[in-house]
Amino acid sequence: MPRLSVNINKIATIRNSRGGNNPDLIKVALDAEQFGAEGITVHPRPDERHVRYADVRELKKVLTTELNIEGNCREEKFVQLVLEVKPDQVTLVPDAEGQLTSDHGWDTVKHRDYLTEMIGIFKSAGIRTSIFCDPDPAMVTGAALTGTDRIELYTESYAHHFKTNRASAIAPYVTAAETAKALGMGINAGHDLDLDNLHYLVQEISFIDEVSIGHALVCDALYLGLENTIQLYRRQLIN
């Protein structure tokens, strides 16, 4: 059964919109763990518009499940933060400065040497590594050549086309996941996954290790409550 890592960026966005500490990001993370989350994901950005670097340091002190830090390893402060905090996993995402949200995977062929160097730095510190990757076998193969432990399949395209033709939407992801598995890498998935499309994803790719979900889960929690929502998402992960 895939693990559910709850991305709490949106909680931080709400907090930052009014200043102060309401909602309390650390308490939400601890509550999410108590309610069934098997990991917490954060994606600190240089402008700290949602999760702040200080938040990450505090989370590391108190979390009892896995901490996954996503971000752009081209940012020196991000690299320093990850090496200081030593999360369970770092997910490398090719964001541009000021980008609203992640919208593509790495070109693992073009940036192979660079990614190999960065993967080596993080792995030497004992941190599991994952590369944000489009569902393209060439990119998956390129990722394997960097030495990464896992890839995270960028699932926006799957989510976008799910309601019109789910079989067609999932097909490239199945191929990419099977390629990754054959090359000895673990498989994570994330972006625009929700209560409608999550179960079909893990039904068709039963060997996914982890899904990272934030925006849809927080939106659902506004209506359904956080504890109930986390349990509903976990039920979708049962094959």
pLDDT at 101: 55
115-171 residue pLDDT tens: 999 999 999 999 999 999 999 999 999 999 999 999 999 999 999 999 999 999 999
pLDDT at 96: 60
DSSP 9-35: HHHHHHHHHHSTTSS-HHHHHHHHHHT
37-95 residue pLDDT tens: 999 999 999 889 999 999 999 999 999 999 999 999 999 999 999 999 999 999 999 96
| Six token digits for residue 22 | 């309401």
161-218 residue pLDDT tens: 999 999 999 999 999 999 999 999 999 999 999 999 999 999 999 999 999 999 999 9
pLDDT at 136: 96
Q: Determine whether 160 is an active site residue.
A: no
DSSP 164: T
From 66, 70, 152, 210, active-site residue:
70
From 43, 111, 204, 210, active-site residue:
43
In the chain, alpha helices (H):
9-18, 25-34, 53-62, 76-85, 112-124, 137-144, 156-161, 166-182, 198-204, 215-224, 226-236
On whether the CB atoms of residues 230 and 24 are closer than 8 A, the answer is: no
Q: Determine whether 191 is an active site residue.
A: yes
The CATH number of whichever domain residue 194 belongs to comes to 3.20.20.70
From 50, 191, 204, 210, active-site residue:
191
Range of the domain at 145: 3-236
Could you give phi then psi for residue 90, rounded to 5 degrees?
-115, 130
Q: How many domains does the chain have?
A: 1
pLDDT at 72: 92
On whether the CB atoms of residues 133 and 148 are closer than 8 A, the answer is: no
Mean pLDDT, residues 5-34: 97
User: Which residue bears the tokens 């949200």?
Assistant: 101
Q: Determine whether 50 is an active site residue.
A: no
On whether the CB atoms of residues 201 and 155 are closer than 8 A, the answer is: yes
